[in-house]
């Protein structure tokens, strides 16, 4: 039987929390839990809920993120990639090279990354899990935003909204295809 | 009969457009249209749709915006205020004083404004029309974002999502009450 569609709103800042148990369970389901030595609680927080939603991916994860520097979220994405989930990441050219960005690390791990060539920002902050669940809001995927800012994230399992964002993702993915790079500054 | 709930996704950048006809119709419904001398088309764009949604407010407009410097959106908000709609604006302390910010102008017009006192950003970008329609996404209300960035805005008329954001608005509105200002730098 089909479960009820997910409808969730997450507000940040999130209390600090340890997500090791979540990552371990996703890496090796059913394995005996090993307690993490870190002092953080492993409670139910906005961050842990976001990580849980991401780790539910089975086939694909499409990421369209202005800034991605949070190491915890990068570990979750890498784990999905290792598990065989098809991960694609679109990001902003000006921000991907900044100190602390996780984009290089993800690319190095074999994840496909594309970026804009424009002076305007690729300012989206959304993810689509299995072409079925949309995760979108004001939150850039940075530790500062997660821990310090007032932010929102909507989790929506609704075919109409998901399709609009999936189509936008595919448009951007094609537009930022490296075979179309000009290697010249554009006038915009 | 109740109309079907609004469900809309707007993607930016928006083509430049003239919104004078929209503002004039909202200021004086049914008045004969006077053609605007500006060279911009008055077509159907992401910006004109956003303005239309805002101008549909009859009783209240709650704004929770990191940055607000777009003069066209500020004119729409001022028009609603003059029409007797109860407008409240929460914004970010670091951004509200920047060059081009419309916050001072709105405050001067008599609109209630509150801001944070924190080092973290008040990074939300949402509006709630008549406690019934939620407008939220990645879009800061700046001309640069509207004209140059890849951005999204969801328009959602769904009681569950609206309530979550309305509650967050009321929490922030109380927390940023000026009677609670400390006038000392906070250690955070």
What is the 3-class SS of chain B, one letter each residue? Answer: CCCCCCEEEEEECCCCCCCHHHHHHHHCCCCCCCCCCCCCCCCCCHHHHHHHHHHCCCCEEEEEECCECCHHHHHHHHHHHHCCCEEEEEECHHHHCCCCCCHHHHHHCCCEEEECCCCCCECCEEEEECCCEEEEECCCECHHHHHHCEEEEEEECCHHHHHHHHHHHHHHHHHCCHHHCCCCCCCC
pLDDT(B28) > 60:
yes
Element (H, E) at A30: none
Average of per-residue pLDDT across B71-94: 96
* Residue ranges per structural domain of chain B: 7-18+41-178
Q: Which are the contacts of B93, defined by CB distance < 8 A and separation ≥ 6? A: B115, B116, B117, B118, B122
Chain B partners within 8 Å of A116 (Cβ): 150
Element (H, E) at A144: helix A143-148
pLDDT score, position B126: 98
pLDDT score, position B33: 78
Restricting to A residues 7-46, those with a Cβ less than 8 Å away from any Cβ of B are 7, 9, 11, 13
pLDDT(A183) > 70:
no
pLDDT score, position B99: 83
pLDDT(A154) > 60:
yes
pLDDT band per the 50, 70, 90 thresholds, residue B96 = confident
CA distance A8 to A152: 11
Return the CATH superfamily for domain B7-18+41-178. Endonuclease Chain A (3.30.870.10)
**Which residue among the candidates A125, A158, A163, A167 is catalytic per the annotation?**
A125
pLDDT band per the 50, 70, 90 thresholds, residue A184 = low
Distance from CA of A24 to the nearest CA of B (A): 31
**Which residue among the candidates A108, A123, A163, A167 is catalytic per the annotation?**
A123
**Does residue A169 belong to the interface with chain B, where contact is any CB pair within 8 Å?**
no
Mutate to test the interface with A, among B117, B149, B168 (most CBs of A within 10 A): B149
Average of per-residue pLDDT across A9-33: 92
The interface pTM score, or ipTM, of the predicted complex is 0.93
Average of per-residue pLDDT across B107-120: 93
| DSSP category for residue A179 | G
The answer to whether the CB atoms of A122 and B188 lie below 8 A apart is no
Distance from CA of A48 to the nearest CA of B (A): 19
Q: Any bridge partners for residue B86, and if so which? A: B60
Q: Which of A49-53, A167-171, A174-178, B110-114 has the lowest mean pLDDT?
A: A174-178
The answer to whether the CB atoms of A123 and B138 lie below 8 A apart is yes
The answer to whether the CB atoms of A13 and B120 lie below 8 A apart is yes
Distance from CA of A11 to the nearest CA of B (A): 8
pLDDT score, position B2: 67
Closest CB from B9, B136, B150 relative to A152: B136
Closest CB from B120, B160, B165 relative to A148: B120
Q: Which are the contacts of B120, defined by CB distance < 8 A and separation ≥ 6? A: A13, A144, A147, A148, A149, A150, B188
% of chain B surpassing 70 pLDDT: 96
Closest CB from B124, B150, B151 relative to A150: B124
Average of per-residue pLDDT across B50-76: 97
């Amino acid at each position: 039987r089909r479960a009820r569609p997910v409808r969730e709103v997450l507000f940040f800042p999130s209390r600090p929390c340890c997500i090791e148990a979540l990552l371990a369970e996703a890496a090796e389901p059913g394995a005996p839990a090993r307690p993490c030595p870190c002092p953080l609680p492993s409670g139910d927080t906005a961050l842990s809920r976001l990580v849980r939603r991401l780790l539910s991916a089975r086939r694909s994860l499409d990421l369209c993120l202005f800034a991605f520097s949070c190491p915890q979220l990068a570990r979750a994405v890498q784990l999905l990639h290792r598990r065989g989930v098809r991960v694609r990441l679109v990001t902003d050219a000006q921000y991907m090279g900044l100190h602390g960005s996780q984009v290089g690390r993800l690319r190095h791990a074999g994840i496909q990354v594309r970026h804009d060539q424009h002076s305007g920002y690729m300012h989206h902050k959304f993810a689509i899990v299995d072409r079925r669940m949309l995760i979108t809001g004001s939150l850039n995927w940075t530790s500062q935003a997660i821990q310090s800012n007032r932010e929102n994230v909507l989790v929506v399992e609704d075919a109409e909204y998901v399709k609009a964002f999936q189509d936008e993702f595919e448009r951007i993915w094609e537009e930022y295809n490296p075979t179309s790079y000009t290697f010249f500054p554009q006038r915009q």
